[in-house]
Chains A and B, each alone.
Chain A
Amino acid sequence: MEVKVVRKVLDVNDTNAQRNRLRFAEKKVFVLNVMSSPGSGKTTLLQKTLAEIMPDIRTGVIVGDICTSNDADRLSAAGVPVVQVNTDEFGGDCHLAAHVIEKAAENFDLDALDLLIVENVGNLVCPAEFDIGENARAVVLSVTEGEDKPIKYPLMFRESDAAVLNKTDLLPYLDYDRDAAVDYIHQVHPGMPVFELSAKTGEGLAAWVDWIRGKVRGKG
């Protein structure tokens, strides 16, 4: 006998994410989920970004890693409230799930924040599948990775609202076709803003920072 079920497998996560979203909206906190593969320069990008937007945009950061607090240590050096989530406590997960964000957010005074940045676990596959209650998603790609990452990991690029192409200072030393990379991004997600920048030198950073400022200003 066939018993009908018809339920999304990630139902529980989606419900938790929606609860997070309502809570963040009530506290007027804009949540940006930043995702990338390992080693794309997310933490350096965030360090440089925080230096630009603080203190006028009051920002907190949740850092997800499978192990270590190295990234959190680098970010808290900037005087930003940082909460480290090690997913090994939750089964060594390859992504941050909504209930993990809910718990981590309890460590912040949300009334004192305008922006909460979630540095997700370095992984281009799983985080794309898990709604955490964010308002926007950004994916960071670096020029030391293949140009075709966007079509290899289409869900991530499809589900993001902006892409950063990082480490452009290395372009003179690489056979990297940046136009091809941008074109692949736009194949998967036509019209998505792409910020080509070097977090290290700061070149191109302003447009990305402006995008964040605009998003935070426009929040409900």
Chain B
Amino acid sequence: MHEMGIAMQVVEIAAASIPPEMAGSRVERVNLKVGKLAAVVPDSLRFCYDVVIRDTPLAGSVLHIQEIPVTAECGDCGHSWTADRPEFRCGACGSGNVRIVSGQELEIISIDIEDP
């Protein structure tokens, strides 16, 4: 629901990450990691991104989203698993002492800039 705000943040961070000596080069791609547990819908984010990049140094670039699965680890028995549904009780020992290892990411990893 707040994908527009997220897209604006992505553009701001990505634009600020263009090395000064490459200013003016075309940005081809912005690489983003989005955890499946993050409250972000990739399709909506891509849609908003395409709107937000107009008239910015990122105009014409593509937002590449790598979706990260939710993985969890039991703090008691050490069992770890990939969660395909939001169940955070340990499947092996039943403990509720469970840590989410991945799946909450919302990070810009890198930007691809056209070689001069």
Closest-CB distance, A141 to chain B (whole angstroms):
15
Establish whether residues A3 and B110, one from each chain, have CB atoms under 8 Å apart when the complex forms. yes
Establish whether residues A9 and B10, one from each chain, have CB atoms under 8 Å apart when the complex forms. yes
**Binding-face segment, A77-85, A89-97, A174-182:** A89-97
Closest-CB distance, A13 to chain B (whole angstroms):
8
Establish whether residues A9 and B98, one from each chain, have CB atoms under 8 Å apart when the complex forms. no
Instruction: Give chain A residues whose Cβ lies under 8 Å from the Cβ of B1.
Output: 94, 123, 125-126
A220 at the interface (CB under 8 A from B): no
Which B residue's beta carbon lies closest to that of A129? Answer: B39
Interface size on B, residues (CB 8 A): 40
Q: Mark contacts of B83-110 with chain A using CB atoms, 8 A cut-off: 1 yes-contact digit, 0 otherwise.
A: 0011111000001111010001011111
Which B residue's beta carbon lies closest to that of A97? Answer: B5
Q: Contacting B9 at CB < 8 Å: which of A5, A6, A12?
A: A12
The answer to whether residues A7 and B113 also contact, given A151-B86, A155-B38 and a CB cut-off of 8 A, is no
If over half of A's interface residues share one DSSP class (helix, strand or loop), that class is named, otherwise mixed; here it is: mixed
Establish whether residues A158 and B106, one from each chain, have CB atoms under 8 Å apart when the complex forms. no
Most buried by B among A3, A10, A150, A186: A3
Q: A1-B22, A11-B13, A190-B88 are known; give 11 further A-B pairs, CB within 8 A.
A: A2-B111, A3-B18, A3-B113, A6-B107, A12-B9, A126-B2, A151-B85, A158-B88, A186-B96, A188-B86, A191-B96
B binding-site residues for A, Cβ under 8 Å = 1-2, 4-6, 9-10, 13-14, 17-19, 22, 31-32, 37-40, 85-89, 95-98, 100, 104, 106-115
14 A-B residue pairs with Cβ-Cβ distance under 8 Å, sorted by A, are A1-B112, A2-B112, A3-B113, A4-B110, A9-B9, A9-B10, A10-B9, A11-B9, A93-B5, A94-B2, A123-B1, A129-B39, A158-B86, A187-B87
